[in-house]
Amino acid sequence: MDDKVTIPKLRAMKESGERIAMLTAYDWPTALLLDRAGIDVLLVGDSVGNNILGYESTIPVTMEEMIHHTKAVRRGVKRALLIGDMPFLSYQVSAEQALANAGRFLKEGGADAVKLEGGAEMADIINLLVRRGIPVMGHIGLTPQRAAQLGGLKVQGRDEETAQKLLNDAKILEEAGVFSLVLEAVPWALAKLITERVKIPTIGIGAGPYCDGQVLVVTDMIGLSVGISPKFSKRYTNVAAEIERAAKEFISEVKSGKFPTIEEHSFKISEEVLKKLQ
């Protein structure tokens, strides 16, 4: 397709000032609809753990689960750039393991690229993957896989020391070869400064309006999340309420005998056949 989103196209979008729209997706029908709507980037996030699989966090998510969901999303995508999110301990143990697992996202999952969390400490791994032909999106700021180490799901970069570290991390990851950088839960002025200092596109989530693009978790965006959505998210519709309403109507119609009807929802058999059966 002529309008297929590619990594060079994302770079061109930053240069021209065109904002990048990115969402997560975890299944075929959702991916199909989001791709049809014109989304630029789809991330099969490890957030599948706490949004779809019922885990309390992203930590339990396995490579097998991520490959399974990436393959499903791939079947629905024609236009968007598809990124697979590397789960906890799939890339931190060794360079060899990181390369093998990242390769699985492309070879088995059909992803166009991978995303992994971490700053300067991940530069060598990122550089290895890029040199081996695997495009990498970086992710700094609030990195959910390290939430316990960070003291919870908190905004990062509010003091001089951590803000300077994020600035340094952004430049180091750019030099390591990432094609884009997610900035999560970062003060907007710091995110703006990072966006101005790097040549690669920045994608914000809770990082203010001055990033080159924005990403949301799709279940937050459509109102299907369980519990309280984060402050930085925006609900564009309320799918959860609509599902509950539809389910209640179905239950009521089944119990009252209103559904199914003979004319609208049932199949006929000829009188001749019916007589032979009686």
Tokens at 10, concatenated: 């994302």
Identify the domain containing residue 172 by its residue range: 7-237
Query: Considering the domain boundaries, does residue 111 fall inside one?
Result: yes
Residue 244 is among the residues annotated as catalytic for this protein: no
240 pLDDT above the threshold of 70:
yes
Structure confidence by residue, pLDDT tens digits, 242-254: 999 999 999 999 9
Same domain? 189 vs 256 = no
CA distance 23 to 216: 5
Per-residue confidence at 228, pLDDT binned at 50, 70, 90?
confident
| Alpha helices (H) in 54-94, listed in sequence order | 63-74
Mean pLDDT of the chain: 95
Same domain? 120 vs 211 = yes
Query: Considering the domain boundaries, does residue 1 fall inside one?
Result: no
Query: Considering the domain boundaries, does residue 27 fall inside one?
Result: yes
Per-residue pLDDT at 265: 96
Domain count within the chain: 2
Same domain? 52 vs 148 = yes
Mean pLDDT of 78-92: 98
198 pLDDT above the threshold of 50:
yes
Same domain? 152 vs 258 = no
Active-site residue, selected from the candidate residues 121, 184, 244, 271:
184
Mean pLDDT of 28-49: 98
Same domain? 15 vs 35 = yes
Same domain? 267 vs 216 = no
Same domain? 48 vs 163 = yes
Same domain? 22 vs 104 = yes
Answer yes or no: are the C-beta atoms of 157 and 169 closer than 8 Å. no
Same domain? 161 vs 39 = yes
Per-residue pLDDT at 2: 59
Q: What percent of the chain has pLDDT over 90?
A: 91
Q: What is the CATH number of the domain that holds 174?
A: 3.20.20.60
- Which of residues 231 and 41 earns the better pLDDT score? 41
Same domain? 206 vs 265 = no
Structure confidence by residue, pLDDT tens digits, 119-147: 999 999 999 999 999 999 999 999 988 87
1 pLDDT above the threshold of 80:
no
HSE-CB at 142 with a 13 A cutoff on CA atoms is 19
Burial 5-36 (b: 16+ CB within 10 A, else e): bebeebbebbeeeeebbbbbbbbbebbbebbe
Per-residue pLDDT at 229: 77
Per-residue pLDDT at 16: 98
32 pLDDT above the threshold of 70:
yes
Same domain? 207 vs 99 = yes
Same domain? 57 vs 141 = yes
